[in-house]
């Protein structure tokens, strides 16, 4: 583990695509008009220009202040503001205006809420489905630590097309990378959701380059499959700021390909494995393997 906050020099394959400035500016204005946040901006995603250029975004609900302080994350930590009751309507209006066919909704972790924010996810899905009846919704949720029973029961009202929860890293690194989270809690969430809602596609992802070994990665992938996870993303961790934990090493594209092939061999229905892959990157294409249309993302 690199204990210093200095990452090694980025290799040539870590190359972010250029921006589409007019589209980027247009979408940012639309988001501000509806008082919305995107994880693309808040988490300093390297694909923001490409995704915004295609007119897509991953929406960040329940504010942009997290109750946790994970060492890899660029989202600010602190006491969140109360939930905005107008957010579901504002979100639905923005999505309708953007004419999206597939949308990803994620959130900060809200340990201050009794249900972890599950009811707010449901409210957002209801509002979007009412205005955009043909749209498919993917949600990328926190672990609902200490409130899984309540959170999972809340989704009886409406289910997403894809339920995504990132395992993030290997168990040995949890204390340093995900303080306040438990590996077994994340696995249980995926397993329990699939048991309750078997027709919903489940998805998870890992960041690599934080000191994990290949064997540890493979063990996590096996655990995910044992807990009924359908889809997988594997990405290179990139240090968003000097305040975040540093990269230990940059994995080669060939290593990502080998791990992706291993993941497919143990039963994942879709695997997106490449340095600049992110959980919601080209999410509509990722999910098509699970419904019969193959798309490879490398």
Residues 228-257 have a mean pLDDT of 93
Distance, in Å, from the CA atom of 104 to the CA atom of 121, rounded to the nearest integer, reads 11
pLDDT in tens, 77-134: 899 999 999 999 999 998 888 778 888 999 999 999 999 999 999 999 999 999 998 8
Tokens 């609900």 map to which residue? 61
Contact call for residues 246 and 5 (beta carbons, < 8 A): yes
Burial (0-12, 13-18, 19+ Cβ within 10 Å), 31:
buried
**Domain range summary for the chain, segments of one domain joined by +:** 21-291
Residues 51-76 have a mean pLDDT of 77
Q: Which band of pLDDT confidence, cut at 50, 70 and 90, is reported for residue 297?
A: very low
Distance, in Å, from the CA atom of 169 to the CA atom of 135, rounded to the nearest integer, reads 31
Q: Specify the CATH class of 21-291 in words.
A: alpha beta
Residues 167-183 have a mean pLDDT of 94
85: helix, strand or coil = coil
26 phi, psi to nearest 5 deg: -65, -45
pLDDT in tens, 247-271: 999 999 999 999 999 999 999 999 9
List, in sequence order, every beta strand (DSSP E) within the chain.
37-38, 58-61, 65-66, 76-77, 102-107, 136-140, 162-164, 201-208, 231-236, 270-273
Pairing of strands 58-61, 37-38: antiparallel
Contact call for residues 75 and 41 (beta carbons, < 8 A): no
Contact call for residues 124 and 87 (beta carbons, < 8 A): yes
Report the chain's mean pLDDT, rounded to a whole number.
85
- Tell me the pTM: 0.88
């Amino acid at each position: 583990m690199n204990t210093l906050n200095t990452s090694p020099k980025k290799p040539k394959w870590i190359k972010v695509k250029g921006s589409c400035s007019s589209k980027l500016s247009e979408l940012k204005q639309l988001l501000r008009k509806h008082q919305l946040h995107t994880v693309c901006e808040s988490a300093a995603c390297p694909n923001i220009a490409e995704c915004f250029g295609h007119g897509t975004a991953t929406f960040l609900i329940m504010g942009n202040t997290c109750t946790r302080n994970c060492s890899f994350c660029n989202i600010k930590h602190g006491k969140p503001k109360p939930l905005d009751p107008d957010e579901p309507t504002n979100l639905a209006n923005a999505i309708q205006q953007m004419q999206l066919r597939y949308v990803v909704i994620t959130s900060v972790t809200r340990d201050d809420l009794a249900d972890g924010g599950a009811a707010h996810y449901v409210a957002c899905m209801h509002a979007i489905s009412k205005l955009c009846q043909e749209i498919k919704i993917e949600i990328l949720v926190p672990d609902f630590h200490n409130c899984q029973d309540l959170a999972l029961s809340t989704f009886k009202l409406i289910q997403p097309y894809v339920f995504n929860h990132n395992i993030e890293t290997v168990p040995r690194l949890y204390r340093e990378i995900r303080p306040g989270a438990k590996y077994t809690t994340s696995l249980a969430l995926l397993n329990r959701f699939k048991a309750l809602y078997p027709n919903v596609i489940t998805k998870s992802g890992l960041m690599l380059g934080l000191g994990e070994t290949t064997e540890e990665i493979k063990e996590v992938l096996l655990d995910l499959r044992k807990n009924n996870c359908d889809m997988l993303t594997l990405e290179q961790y990139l240090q968003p700021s000097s305040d975040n934990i540093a990269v230990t090493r940059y994995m080669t594209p060939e290593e990502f390909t080998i791990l992706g092939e291993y993941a497919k061999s143990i039963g994942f229905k879709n695997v997106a494995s490449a340095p600049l892959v992110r959980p919601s990157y080209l999410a509509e294409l990722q999910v098509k393997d699970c419904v019969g249309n193959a798309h490879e993302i490398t």
